[in-house]
């Protein structure tokens, strides 16, 4: 059978099935023994290589007693595991816990972020994030605590893994007041603290640079050990995941151009310190 390229949908499907097995207290081999499957069949299912039917997926999820909503989600993904790219429309607002993004952050070997207007999400302090939530008319304020907790959990996961992170940040993002003067001061000091970590790199693009390659908007590019890079674009009520080689190449060209235009790492730290003082 020809090897299929891994997709964002396929990886979420595989991760969901693995989690269903874990919650059921089953190993892959144990599930196969109960279902009378060759272990290779489950392996093919988890890795998106085909060889299974919707009925097989439903039998496995039934064995795991997977909740109906999650089972429906995984069955729907099963039929789309080979589709490249994923536009996720959330409705009125973003989910409190962005599942697909979190699952990819959890296994990324390197994260490269371009942020044009705000301090990047992985670096935002709770009070800075709360101020952003308060300014958004689409986000119920009663969700603030849960949203902050979810953001902090994702940040801690990245810190624990010591994932390499490079942040290309426009100078205006550092100067845009978000929240009170104290909130903004704390946020900038946090950037300095985080910048001391060996796996965090800042590259600041000065306002005086003028027009630049990143004007189309902010994005995140995630790299993986054995998978093609994924580009993530966040918006008000939807998210876009691009996992095809052409998109990755296009966004890498943007990062390459930003790399040439931005201050180097030491100059970037010095600029943050000057703005903070």
Residue 144, CA atoms < 13 Å, CB-side half-sphere: 14
Strand order in the sheet with 230-234: 86-89, 238-242, 230-234, 219-223, 110-115, 164-170, 200-205
**Whole-prediction pTM value?**
0.89
- Mean per-residue pLDDT, 1-18: 78
Question: For position 1, what pLDDT does the model report?
Answer: 39
Worst-scoring range by mean pLDDT, 44-53, 89-98, 212-221? 44-53
Quick: pLDDT tens for 196-231.
999 999 999 999 999 999 999 999 999 998 888 999
For residue 106, give every residue at least 6 positions away whose Cβ sits within 8 Å of its Cβ, in sequence order, or none: 157, 161
d(CA 194, CA 151): 16
Question: For position 226, what pLDDT does the model report?
Answer: 81
Question: For position 13, what pLDDT does the model report?
Answer: 92
Retrieve residue 221's tokens.
Answer: 């590019």
| Nearest one of 155, 220, 150 to 194, comparing CA atoms | 155
Retrieve residue 132's tokens.
Answer: 């952003």
Retrieve residue 222's tokens.
Answer: 């995630």
- Mean per-residue pLDDT, 82-104: 89
For residue 250, give every residue at least 6 positions away whose Cβ sits within 8 Å of its Cβ, in sequence order, or none: none
- pLDDT confidence band for 4 (50 / 70 / 90): low
Averaged pLDDT score across all residues of the chain: 93
Question: For position 240, what pLDDT does the model report?
Answer: 96
d(CA 61, CA 68): 9
For residue 261, give every residue at least 6 positions away whose Cβ sits within 8 Å of its Cβ, in sequence order, or none: 205, 209, 212, 213
- Mean per-residue pLDDT, 125-141: 95
Question: For position 5, what pLDDT does the model report?
Answer: 65
């Amino acid at each position: 059978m020809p090897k299929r390229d891994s997709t964002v949908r396929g990886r979420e499907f595989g991760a969901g099935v693995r989690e269903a097995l874990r919650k059921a207290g089953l190993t892959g081999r144990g599930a196969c023994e109960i279902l009378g499957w060759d272990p290779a069949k489950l392996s093919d299912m988890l890795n998106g290589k085909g060889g299974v039917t919707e009925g097989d997926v439903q039998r496995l999820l039934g064995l795991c007693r997977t909740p109906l909503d999650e089972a429906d989600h995984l069955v729907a993904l099963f039929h789309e595991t080979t589709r490249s790219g994923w536009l996720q429309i959330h409705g009125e607002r973003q989910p409190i816990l962005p599942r697909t993004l979190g699952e990819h952050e959890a296994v990324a070997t390197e994260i490269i972020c371009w942020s044009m207007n705000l301090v990047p999400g992985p670096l935002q302090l709770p009070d800075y994030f709360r101020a952003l939530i308060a300014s958004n008319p689409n986000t119920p304020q009663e969700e603030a605590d849960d949203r902050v907790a979810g953001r902090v959990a994702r940040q801690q996961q990245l810190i624990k893994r010591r994932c390499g992170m490079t942040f290309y940040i426009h100078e205006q993002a550092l100067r845009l007041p978000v929240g009170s003067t104290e909130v903004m001061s704390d946020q900038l000091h946090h950037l300095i603290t985080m910048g001391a970590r060996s796996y965090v790199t800042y590259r600041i693009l000065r306002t005086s640079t003028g027009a630049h390659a990143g004007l189309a908007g902010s994005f995140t590019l995630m790299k993986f050990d054995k998978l093609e890079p994924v580009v993530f674009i966040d918006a008000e009520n939807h998210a876009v995941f691009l996992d095809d080689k052409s998109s990755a190449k296009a966004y890498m060209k943007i990062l390459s151009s930003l790399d040439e235009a931005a201050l180097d790492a030491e100059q970037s730290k010095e600029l943050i310190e000057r703005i903070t003082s």
